[in-house]
């Protein structure tokens, strides 16, 4: 089962909801996760975020411990939601 199948109905293209215009989200992505498949699905993640949030970003990790640094940076900048 992919991450896409785990998203709630509000994230699906057929959902009848408007975009979240008030909260910002930072997604921390390990492009090597799942044998590299996570990095290959970057465009799909971008489309899902764009449909759901007005303010979003994807930050890719570059090595061990980098996700922690990216998360701290996002929180310091005032991002409302951090997803990994």
CA distances from 7 to 2, 11, 35 (A): 9, 6, 21
The gap from C-alpha 82 to its chain's centroid, in whole angstroms, comes to 8
Ranges of residues in the chain whose predicted pLDDT is under 70: 1-17
pLDDT at 17: 63
Q: What is the pLDDT of residue 1?
A: 44
Q: Which helix (H) or strand (E) holds 56?
A: strand 53-60
Count helices and strands in the chain by DSSP H and E runs: 4, 3
- pLDDT computed for residue 74 by the predictor: 98
The separation between the first and the last C-alpha atoms of the chain, rounded to the nearest angstrom, is 17
Q: Report pLDDT for 16.
A: 47
- pLDDT tens, residue by residue, 61-76: 999 999 999 999 999 9
Q: In the prediction, which pLDDT does 34 show? A: 95
- DSSP symbols for 37-80: HHHHTHHHHHHHHHHHEEEEEEEE--STTHHHHHHHHHHHTT-S
pLDDT score, position 15: 52
């Amino acid at each position: 089962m992919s991450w896409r199948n785990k998203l709630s109905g509000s994230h699906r293209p057929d959902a009848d909801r408007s975009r979240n215009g008030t909260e910002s989200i930072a997604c921390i992505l390990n492009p090597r996760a799942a044998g590299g498949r996570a990095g290959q699905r970057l465009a799909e993640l971008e489309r899902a975020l764009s449909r759901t949030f007005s303010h979003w970003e994807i930050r890719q990790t570059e090595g061990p411990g980098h996700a922690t640094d990216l998360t701290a940076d996002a929180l310091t900048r005032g991002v409302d939601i951090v997803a990994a």
